[in-house]
Copies of this chain bind each other. A is one copy, B any other.
């Protein structure tokens, strides 16, 4: 990447989100995103496969960070305690950008193709967490169940946080959701 395109990826992501919110995802073209960012379509395609992937460009980093945290959890931690460490890491990755997240979720919620893409990313995240738990010596079905429960908590906690008028800390909302799941299953 030449020095005449500082932070091209970040500029393209912001421009895309702005246009998706303003005009709708379907009505926006790659050429318009590039123009808004002051870049070319050619540059866009150096970073993203298509206009859908701009919205999901952060998921690989999120998954890597969550799996890394899971693997770094104390060896004595229970499967759900290790998952809780991964959820804390997710909060660290996402927690500082609530307004960005809120706008992104509104774009995804309005489009069936994007909602499907999100489901696939979450399923991939669940599978990666289950793999990480197996590497920690957790057998199946516990590994799969704990990972799926963690993703349920992640989804619910994230949605609550995004819509929360009180602007609370994401990691706190995640922990509360985990406690709520605990209360529900114990009942």
- Which residues of A line the B interface, CB within 8 A? 78-81, 116, 119-120, 123, 141-142, 144-146, 148-149, 152-153, 155-156, 159-160, 177-178, 180-182, 184-187
Contact = CB atoms under 8 A, between A and B. Distances in A.
B185 A181 contact: yes
A74 B185 CA distance: 17
A80 B144 CA distance: 19
Contacts of A180: 141-142, 145
13 contacts: A81-B187, A141-B160, A142-B180, A146-B184, A148-B152, A148-B155, A148-B156, A149-B149, A149-B184, A149-B185, A152-B152, A182-B185, A185-B185
Given A79-B187, A123-B119, A185-B182, A152 B145 contact: yes
Given A141-B156, A148-B152, A149-B181, 13 more contacts: A79-B184, A80-B184, A81-B187, A119-B119, A119-B120, A119-B123, A141-B160, A141-B177, A141-B180, A145-B181, A149-B152, A149-B184, A182-B185
B177 A182 contact: no
